Amino acid sequence: MLKDIIYNNKIYVGRKAINDRDISADTLYTSTDYKKWSRVWVEKDGKKYYLSAANVVWNGKQFVTIGGKLHKNSIFSDETVVALSSDGIKWEIKETEDDFEYGIYGNKTYIAFDYFGDIYTSTNGIHYNKSTKVTSQSLRTALWDGKKFLVAGEMGVILSSTKDKNAVLPKQDKWQGDNYPYSIVY
């Protein structure tokens, strides 16, 4: 079963949902017809690995993974990667130290967050800058609503950027938030 499927008008890219018989959750799969799916694999140092990610986004030109990992036979490597692909078939791997729980793309900006409530921003999806910490709660999901980023997390935390539609990145101290009884953003 797949989750979080994204489409670029040519190919679908989805992530495998959690399966109690298999630990390869979040492994990327692609399909051109939404019926037959193939697992995404990459080569590194002459070895074949499967690619997993906390999320994959389409920025209008290429797919970019956020929170990527390489794995072989359901054994994940310790290294984190960013994978880029213009066609969803051939993927370029870039090593990174950032291990994100989730992230999104909107308004020419990547927003990602880790397990500790830290928010990071990037203009290229590879190199991220840490924003000022505004919560210690784990953040789970986010969206770009056309004017600002909204991020929701545990304990009902909902944060919004005060990012101006024409600005390049949210300023480090421009995140505001509050606790609400639910963490679902509509």
Q: What is the mean pLDDT of the chain?
A: 83
Task: Summarize pLDDT for 64-101 with one digit per residue, the tens.
Answer: 999 988 888 766 677 789 999 999 999 999 988 888 98
What's residue 99's pLDDT? 86
Q: Which of 61, 110, 66 is nearest to 86 (CA)?
A: 61
Domain ranges of the chain: 2-96, 107-179
pLDDT digits (tens, 9 = 90+) for 6-37: 999 999 999 987 765 656 678 899 999 989 99
Quote the tokens at residue 160: 């919004």
List 52's β-bridge partners, or say none.
Answer: 27, 69
Bridge partners of residue 80, in order along the sequence:
69, 96
> Where is 110: in which H helix or E strand?
strand 109-113
Can you give the pLDDT at residue 55?
Answer: 93
pLDDT at 127: 93
Q: What is the pLDDT of residues 30-60, one digit of tens each?
A: 999 989 999 999 988 888 999 999 999 999 9
Q: What is the pLDDT of residues 137-171, one digit of tens each?
A: 888 889 998 888 888 888 888 888 875 544 444 44
Q: Which two tokens stand for residue 173?
A: 């101290």
